[in-house]
């Protein structure tokens, strides 16, 4: 009886704390047409304290969506265009000599924001990428001998252009693993594109967005998400999915053994659990279902499974492997 009462109390708590989710969607609809998948996953990253890697051709409203999200949650937004000549100091900041006072002053870089859009992250050299990824992992930045904590919430949304590879620096697997989710953004539908054209093919002022929540409510929501109930069977399902990427032969998937070079790391199980909780929270639910796990699994795993040369030769992608695992591993 006490468990039922606790679940009821938790359900009411989640209903109260998740009310702003619907407000965010309705406010963003003033500017963004479609792209519900992208907005969903950005909110999951924000609520689960995880960073997001976006891959898609130019012109799919990635920057507009991210900057609009920052507006509606009333947080500081910075867009950083990554280029081959970018230096770590351009990102994190540096020391400036003050002649008048004969001392060095810290000039903080654009990384000191709540939502940071790292545009075309693979265009910058390894030193800049590692400076960003260190900030993502440690939630702090060191300039000279001083360490500065980054504001909460702190969310990095990095974009990659999948088409143009000339003059780019591929992100190493260990660094890509720092991103909770990797999204593949597709083209809008015919109906959505018609609506986009009608709205945007005009000069003059665009609709103004109003804040519907704030950083304090986001941080409170994160605390509530920690309380969301995950049944042991669902936890075991998450572990089974991760272990199927490492030891496929134990899950009647022997044909995948030669196709997977490296399976998902322990970060994958942590992130899959967190993202599933955030997904349940967005659905105003106090418990995680296997469907929450399945909905988010592709985005958590697609950048964490490294196919072998044999798989690449047969044009089998990590997504094909994940789909087969999801179809085969028993759902509780």
pLDDT tens for each residue of 207-224? 778 888 888 888 888 899
Q: What is the pLDDT of residue 300?
A: 93
Per-residue model confidence (pLDDT) at position 204: 64
| CATH 3.40.50.300 fits domain 19-216 | yes
Distance (Å, rounded) from C-alpha 33 to C-alpha 199? 9
Closest CA to 24 of 275, 279, 213: 213
Helices and strands (H and E) in the chain: how many: 14, 11
Residues 89 and 80: their CA atoms lie apart, in Å, by 13
pTM: 0.86
A 10 A CB-CB count for 118 gives: 29
Distance, in Å, from the CA atom of 159 to the CA atom of 181, rounded to the nearest integer, reads 12
> Can you tell me the distance from the alpha carbon of 95 to that of 148, in angstroms, rounded to the nearest whole number?
13
Q: Categorize the per-residue pLDDT at 1 as very low, low, confident or very high, splitting at 50, 70 and 90.
A: very low
DSSP label of 18: T
Q: Is the pLDDT of residue 2 over 50?
A: no
Is 120 a residue whose pLDDT tops 60? yes
Segment 161-173, tens digit of pLDDT: 765 555 566 676 7
pLDDT given for residue 273 in this prediction: 94
Instruction: Give alpha helix (H) positions in 102-208.
Output: 126-138, 173-176, 190-200
What spatial distance separates the first Cα and last Cα of the chain, rounded to whole Å? 24
CB 264 within 8 A of CB 303: no
Task: Using alpha carbons, select from 280, 317, 183, 300 the residue that is nearest to residue 238.
Answer: 300
H/E stretch holding 142: strand 140-143
Taking each helix axis as running N to C, give the angle between helix 36-47 and helix 62-72, from 0 to 180 degrees, rounded to the nearest 10. 50
What average pLDDT does the segment 293-297 reach? 93
- Convert the pLDDT of each residue in 31-84 to its tens digit: 877 778 888 899 999 999 889 998 877 777 777 888 888 888 888 888 888 888
Q: What percent of the chain has pLDDT over 70?
A: 93
Q: CB of 213 within 8 A of CB of 23?
A: yes
Predicted confidence at residue 165, as pLDDT, reads 56
Residue 268 to residues 17, 65, 143, 182, 263, Cα–Cα distance (Å): 27, 26, 31, 12, 10
pLDDT at 162: 66
The CATH architecture to which 228-328 belongs is Orthogonal Bundle (1.10)
Query: For residue 168, what pLDDT is reported?
Result: 60
pLDDT at 301: 92
Contact 248, 260 (CB under 8 A): yes
> Given this model, what pLDDT does residue 163 score?
58
- For residue 214, the model assigns a pLDDT of 85
Grade residue 181 by pLDDT with cuts at 50, 70 and 90: very high
Q: Which residue ranges make up each domain of the chain?
A: 19-216, 228-328
List Cα–Cα distances, 207 to 10, 22, 39, in angstroms.
Answer: 37, 19, 18
The SS3 of residue 297 is: helix
Q: How many CB atoms lie within 10 A of CB 126?
A: 12
Per-residue model confidence (pLDDT) at position 166: 54
* Integer Cα distance of 52 and 33 in angstroms: 21
């Amino acid at each position: 009886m006490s468990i039922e009462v606790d679940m009821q109390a938790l359900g009411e708590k989640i209903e109260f704390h998740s009310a702003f989710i619907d407000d965010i969607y309705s406010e963003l609809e003033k500017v963004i047409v479609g792209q519900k998948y992208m907005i969903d996953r950005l909110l999951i990253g924000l609520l689960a304290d995880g960073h997001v890697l976006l891959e898609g051709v130019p012109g799919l409203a990635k920057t507009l969506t991210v900057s609009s999200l920052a507006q509606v949650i009333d947080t500081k937004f910075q867009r950083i265009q990554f280029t081959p000549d970018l230096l770590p100091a351009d990102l994190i900041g540096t020391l400036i000599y003050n002649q008048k006072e004969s001392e060095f002053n810290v000039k903080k870089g654009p990384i000191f924001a709540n939502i940071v859009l790292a545009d075309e992250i693979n265009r910058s050299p390894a030193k800049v990428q590692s400076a960003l990824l260190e900030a993502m992992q440690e939630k702090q930045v060191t300039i000279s001998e001083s360490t500065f904590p980054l504001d909460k919430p702190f969310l990095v949304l990095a974009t990659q252009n999948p088409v143009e590879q000339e003059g780019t620096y591929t992100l190493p697997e260990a660094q890509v693993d720092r991103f909770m989710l990797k999204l593949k953004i597709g083209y809008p539908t015919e109906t959505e594109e018609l609506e986009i054209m009608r709205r945007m093919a005009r000069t003059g002022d665009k609709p103004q967005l109003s804040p519907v929540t704030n950083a304090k409510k986001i941080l409170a929501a994160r605390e509530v998400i920690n309380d969301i109930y995950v049944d042991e069977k669902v936890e075991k399902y998450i572990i089974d999915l991760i272990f199927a990427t490492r030891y496929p032969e134990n899950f009647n998937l022997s044909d995948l053994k030669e196709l997977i070079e490296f399976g998902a790391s322990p970060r994958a199980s942590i992130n899959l659990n967190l993202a599933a909780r955030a997904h349940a929270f967005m659905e105003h639910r106090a418990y995680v279902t296997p469907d929450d796990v399945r909905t988010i699994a592709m985005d958590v795993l697609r950048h964490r499974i490294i196919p072998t040369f044999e798989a690449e030769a047969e044009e089998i992608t990590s997504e094909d492997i994940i789909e087969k695992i999801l179809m085969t591993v028993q759902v509780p």
